[in-house]
A and B are shown apart, each in its own frame.
Chain A
C-alpha cells in the first residue's frame, strides 16, 4: 500500500503509514533547519510523529534563505 502526497507542489509517493520524519528522510532533507505545514497548517516539530498523513495531503517543507 502506498499513498501520494503533494510535497512542495510535486506529487510524492510514500508507503502507507509514513510520518513526517520518514517523509523528510525519503526526500533527503535533514530536519534541523526546516519547518513543516500540512494542508496550510503549521505542524510544530514536537508533533511531527503524531500527525497522520492521508492521500492528497499538501505538505510544505520550508527553510530560511537570504532576503531583505
Chain B
C-alpha cells in the first residue's frame, strides 16, 4: 500500500515534481544560492531582467551558475510599474531564455510593491495573445484571480502579503475562496516568512509556493531552504489528506468505558 505519489504540478509547458518555486535574489553569493536551491529540492527558479552594467563587466553571470538541465528558469517582470514596461521586459526575457513562460508583475507603487490589478489583467491579455504562458502575480482578491484565469493566465500567483515582508498569509480565507474559483495552478507568491507560512498556504489548497526573501534573509539560509521543502510537502499532504473537523470542546481519543472505579449498573 503506502501513500500514493502526488501528481506533478503542470503549468503551461512545465511539469514539476517539487511544488516549491524559488527566487534567486538577495543571496550573499552565487554559491550560497546554489546550496539553498539544492537544499530546497526546487526545480524552478525565477530571475529578473536588468540592464548590463557597462562600467563593471567583471564577474560571472547568474546563468553560469545554474544547471539548466536540473532547473527550469522563470523570468519575471519585477520592477515594472506600467503595462508597457512589463510587456517590454517579458519580450526581452523571451529573447534571452527562449521560453514562453513569464512571471508577470505590474507593480502599483514602490512602497507596498503590491500589484496593480487592472494593469496586470491588461498585460495578461496582451501577452497571452502573443503566445506567452503568463503566471500572473496578483493580489489575493478571489474575483481578480478568477478574472486573470478568464484572461488566459497559465497560473495565478496571489500574494500572501507584501513582497519581502515575511508576514505570511494575511488573508487565508481569500486564498481558500480563490482556490475554489479556479482550476488552473494557484501559487502563493510573496510575503511568506517561515516554514509554517508555507505549510499554511499549501493546506489552504495552493498548488505551490514561491519563496525568496524567506530563505535568502534567514540567518541560516540553507537550513531554512530545507525547512521550506519539508513544510511544502507537509502542507500539501495535509491538504490532500483532508483535515479533521475542528470543534470547540474536547473529544476523548481514549475509550470512556472501562475506567477504574466506574460504578457498574446492574
Would B92 and A42 count as touching, CB distance under 8 A? Answer: yes
Q: A12-56: which residues lie under 8 A (CB-CB) from chain B? A: 27-29, 33-35, 37, 40, 42, 44-45
Would A67 and B24 count as touching, CB distance under 8 A? Answer: yes
Distance, CA A28 to CA B88, complexed state (A): 24
Distance, CA A34 to CA B49, complexed state (A): 10
Shortest Cβ distance from A30 into B: residue: B57
- B95 in complex: contacting residue of A42, A61, A65, CB < 8 Å: A42
Would A66 and B25 count as touching, CB distance under 8 A? Answer: yes
Interface size grouping (class) on chain B = 35 or more
Q: Is B48 an interface residue (CB 8 A)?
A: yes
Report the minimal beta-carbon distance from B252 to chain A, rounded to whole angstroms.
47
Q: A34-B52, A42-B95 are in contact. Are A66 and B62 (CB under 8 A)?
A: yes
Distance, CA A45 to CA B94, complexed state (A): 12
Q: Is B39 an interface residue (CB 8 A)?
A: no
- Determine the chain B residues whose CB is within 8 A of the CB of A61 once the complex forms: 51-52, 54
- Determine the chain B residues whose CB is within 8 A of the CB of A27 once the complex forms: 54
Would B95 and A44 count as touching, CB distance under 8 A? Answer: yes
- Determine the chain A residues whose CB is within 8 A of the CB of B50 once the complex forms: 62-65
23 example contacts (A-B, Cβ-Cβ < 8 A) are as follows: A7-B54, A8-B52, A28-B54, A28-B57, A33-B96, A34-B96, A35-B92, A35-B93, A45-B95, A64-B48, A64-B49, A64-B73, A64-B93, A64-B96, A65-B48, A66-B23, A66-B24, A66-B47, A66-B62, A67-B78, A68-B25, A68-B26, A68-B210
